[in-house]
Structure 1
């Protein structure tokens, strides 16, 4: 697991689909869901740690360079 997409695929295996509409919120919700899966012992420690690192990295990148559509929506209004 190396990318945010990989984390989303992991979550889909457990029936969790994430799309809130803001990429930063999606990343945060994915982190909550990974925590939940780990707490329920559905994923092992290594998978959990890897997913959290990927999500932390994506969160930091999104804060530095937002890819969300909010700015694009405001420009079109």
Structure 2
């Protein structure tokens, strides 16, 4: 799920590839609150996964985001 998330962050949200690392915090990756809203919409649109931006904001790192997305995708 990490590669899928990375692809969305780079190609859809236009974040810098070098900043997207599993251990990077949301802030280091460039994920501010607006980006998290956009990510929530992208996950719904592209993957059919419903995760609120508030839930995404609870994730501390990019790896945590990928884990959350992976957990939610198995429920779909």
> Per the shorter chain, which TM-score range?
0.3 to 0.5
TM-score by length of 1: 0.38
Structure number with higher helix proportion: 1
Choose 1 or 2 for highest CA Rg: 1
